[in-house]
Structure 1
Amino acid sequence: MKVFLNPGHCPGVDCGAVNNDYGVTEAAIVREVGDMVADYLRKAGCEVKLLQSDNLAGESPNYPNVCASANNWPADVFVSLHCNAAASEQANGTECFVFSHWSASDSLAACIQSQIVNSLGTLDRGVKEGPRLIVLHNTTMPAVLVELAFISNDVDCQKLIDRKKDFAAAIARGVTDYIQERGE
């Protein structure tokens, strides 16, 4: 199984969401988690490519194109990692986005969502459709965008800081659950 991991945003170019109180950025957190997910998946026998870039589908030609890289490899599954944020500091939990429900992507997202929620005790915000999200719209394999937790919520942010390894293990287990479910 070939798994393409895309930690969202790009340090030094687009840090994504920020929690100034904790001094953390989305780009840095998801890169650390992504590196650990890659290690876990390689140990499980998967072939893994990881790309964090400010060019999702050709809009920033100075950086590698994420969607084209995944499609040209070609990956069997695509997982983009993000930290959520909201104006309300009360917003919390984990959610996954797919291009559309009732698809292989939906099954992959359900496996990842379940593993994160059950392992870390985050609020289950569910699997949602996000057909306008570039990485879901422009990839040709089952693709999921994972919002690990809310960097803007103190409790979630503390989990993002202290439990990166747990997030990574849960995501890797979700991917391997999906692989077993598909019989591959």
Structure 2
Amino acid sequence: MFICLDPGHSGPAEPGACFHNLHEADLTLAIALQTAKELRQRGASVCLTRTQDIDDDGLTWRAALANEAGCDAFLSIHCNAAEDDTARGIESYYYPGSAPGLRMAGSVQNELNGLLYSLDRGVKDAFFTVLAATSMPAVLVECGFITQYQDRQILCDPAWQKAIGQALARSLLNVSF
């Protein structure tokens, strides 16, 4: 299996959700690198849309990279934020009408929920660019809220980042398209 991992956002050019000095782009990269490591250890091929901070936070090139590489699956990794500091949980998105995307989103959601670190916000469909522009099953996962204390503690912990990466790898390798 050939999987494209997309650590959401880009770093200083567009850090994503922020909470004090914490940036979504840093957390998504750490989780994506753990996911890539686990996938490779399990025999999968992996491409990443970024392996460090970049100056471009465009969205269509991320999908184009996966399409041109001929990937079998695309996973965009994100962390959520909300003005309500009690909002928390994990949610997975797929492109409306994509049965393989729905199966993949369900697998991602089930594996992350199995870690019991946050609330289940469910699987949802959405017209996000990275989901719409990919030619393979694609999911965008929100691994938790950096604006909520309990989720933030998990998302910032390297041991939990590894556990989340392992769960994401299992979810991708266990789903049938």
- Give the alignment's TM-score, normalised by structure 2: 0.92
Alignment RMSD, CA only? 1.2
The answer as to 2:17 corresponding to 1:31 is no
Q: How far is 1:90 from its partner?
A: 0.7
SS of match in other structure, 1:119: coil
The alignment covers a number of residue pairs equal to 170
- Alpha-carbon contact 1:95-1:148 (below 8 Å) kept: yes
SS of match in other structure, 1:140: coil
- The within-5 A match list for 1:142-161 is 142-161=137-156
Determine what percentage of the aligned residue pairs are the same residue: 35
Q: Distance in 1 between matches of 2:113 and 2:78?
A: 15
Which residue does the alignment assign to 1:137? 132
Correspondence for 2:75 among 69, 74, 79: 79
Which residue does the alignment assign to 1:60? none
Correspondence for 1:56 among 19, 38, 59: 59
Listed as ranges, the gaps of 5+ residues in structure 1 are: 58-64
The answer as to 2:18 corresponding to 1:15 is no
Q: Distance in 2 between matches of 1:77 and 1:102?
A: 12
Which residue does the alignment assign to 2:167? 170
Which residue does the alignment assign to 1:61? none
Q: Distance in 2 between matches of 1:101 and 1:126?
A: 17
- Give the alignment's TM-score, normalised by structure 1: 0.89
Deviations 1:34-68 (A, max 9, x none): 011001001111110001351211xxxxxxx2111
- Alpha-carbon contact 1:17-1:25 (below 8 Å) kept: yes
Listed as ranges, the gaps of 5+ residues in structure 2 are: 51-55
- Alpha-carbon contact 2:95-2:131 (below 8 Å) kept: yes
Q: Distance in 2 between matches of 1:49 and 1:92?
A: 29
